[in-house]
Structures are given as C-alpha cells and as structure tokens.
A and B are shown apart, each in its own frame.
Chain A
Amino acid sequence: EPEVTQTPSHQVTQMGQEVILRCVPISNHLYFYWYRQILGQKVEFLVSFYNNEISEKSEIFDDQFSVERPDGSNFTLKIRSTKLEDSAMYFCASSDFSDTQYFGPGTRLTVL
C-alpha cells in the first residue's frame, strides 16, 4: 500500500542552524501539508501546498519557514534559523481529491 515517507526520522541541531525536513508524498496525490506536534500538545497545522504554491499557512508559519517541491516526488520544509521552541515532531501529509489525508511517520526535531 502506498505511504508517505519522511527523512530523517530524528534530527538534532543547534539553535540558529538551518534544517531541511524531507517528505515523499504518495505518488498520485496533489495536495501536500506540514503539521507539527510539540510534545504533549495537539497536532497543529503549518502549511498546505497545491499546484506548486502555498494554499494556506498558519500563524506559526512565519518567515523562518519555507516549503518547496523541488522535483516530482519530494516535498520539503525548511527552517532557516531554528529556535528552541521549534523542537517538535513534524508530520508531512498528502491527499488526493478524496480528502483523506495520509500522514508520514514524522521527523523528530530537537533544537539544542
């Protein structure tokens, strides 16, 4: 069964460093999303992406964040200058016209 994959599974970085989280959505899906979950808190929406542009972004998704679909298979989330409060589990999701969103296993980001 097709699934969303994410790499790396765990990323440790120093405060102020740039990180890129990678996702490979399900191949025939057209809508892509990033969510995050801070430990012990709700899953929060960050951004949605369709037709090579951002469809919606949350208040969390400030100028430090960017997304890109550099080729036909990858979808990336970049954080330019990480802060301690960026430590969280980051989930990528994708969907087709059926509206069901399929989530990847997540990348645990730890900012020291």
Chain B
Amino acid sequence: KQEVTQIPAALSVPEGENLVLNCSFTDSAIYNLQWFRQDPGKGLTSLLLIQSSQREQTSGRLNASLDKSSGRSTLYIAASQPGDSATYLCAGDGGATNKLIFGTGTLLAVQP
C-alpha cells in the first residue's frame, strides 16, 4: 500500500531564503507526482505535475524533481516571499486509475 510522507512537517524561514520541501513514497511504482498548495480553509492549487517519463518540472520560482529509484520528490522554492506561506502537499498516483495518494503536508511560514 502506497504511503506518502513529507518532511519537515513545518518550516519557518525569513523572506528571500531558498528552501527545499521533501516528499517520500514507499512504493516506487508511482506514475505521476503532483505538488499542490493549500491555503487555510481553501482548496488545493496545483503547482507542478511530474509525469512518469519526466524527472523535473519548473514553474517560475518553483522546481520539482522526482527520483523513482529512491522514492523521493523535492520541491525547491527560490527567493521565498511571505505570499508563499501555505501548506504544501505532494501526491502520487499509480497510473492505472489516477487516484492520488496524498502526503501529510509541510506547513511553510515565510517571515517578512
């Protein structure tokens, strides 16, 4: 059974710092890996999708990588801003059905 874990559970950084959020999964038979942002009491905003044939994706200040062999994905945020403060979730699917298995989330606070 696929389990997805995110480390750290919470992170507080000063504005402008570069940071890395980690996601690990127990079953390397992951197909796609998607990173989301969730603001308090709100829905999930898709940030990046890494498809099976890819190893990383970039969007603006965000870069996500996927290493299936080690069962890990990282989300790199460059030059963090207070507006980046949110919970970041990673989720993987097994390919055949597209159901997403979510991680525990990392609560990020960027201090001005």
- Residues of chain A touching chain B, judged by Cβ–Cβ distance below 8 Å, are 31, 33, 35, 42-45, 48, 55-56, 58, 91, 93, 95, 98-106, 108
Chain B, interface residues (CB within 8 Å), range:
20 to 34
CB contacts (< 8 Å) of A102 on chain B: these are 46
Once the chains are docked, how many angstroms separate the CA of A105 from the CA of B42? 6
How far apart are A90's CB and chain B's nearest CB, in angstroms?
A: 11
- Give the secondary structure class of A's interface: strand
Interface pair B91/A91, CB less than 8 Å apart: no
State A103–B97 Cα separation when bound (angstroms). 17
Per the 8 Å Cβ criterion, residues 42-72 of B in contact with A are: 42-46, 49, 51
A-side contacts of B91, CB under 8 Å? 43
The listed residue with most A CB atoms (<10 A of its CB), out of B42, B46, B98, is B98
Q: Are A99 and B32 in contact (CB under 8 A)?
A: yes
Contact B99 A106, beta carbon cutoff 8 Å: no
Q: Is the CB of B43 within 8 A of A103?
A: yes
Determine which of A43, A44, A56 lies in contact with B44 in the assembled complex, contact meaning CB atoms within 8 Å.
Answer: A43
Q: Does B102 contact A (CB under 8 A)?
A: yes
B85 CB–A CB distance under 8 Å: no
Task: Output the least CB separation between B90 and chain A (Å).
Answer: 11
Contact B49 A105 (CB under 8 A): no
Residue of B nearest to A92 (CB): B43
12 intermolecular pairs with C-beta atoms under 8 Å apart: A42-B103, A44-B102, A45-B99, A45-B100, A48-B98, A98-B49, A99-B49, A103-B36, A103-B44, A104-B43, A106-B42, A106-B43
CB pair A33 B44 closer than 8 Å: no
| B residues in contact with A98, CB < 8 Å | 49
**Which of chain A's residues has its CB closest to B31's CB?**
A99
Please measure, in the bound complex, the distance between the C-alpha atom of A31 and the C-alpha atom of B34, giving whole angstroms.
16
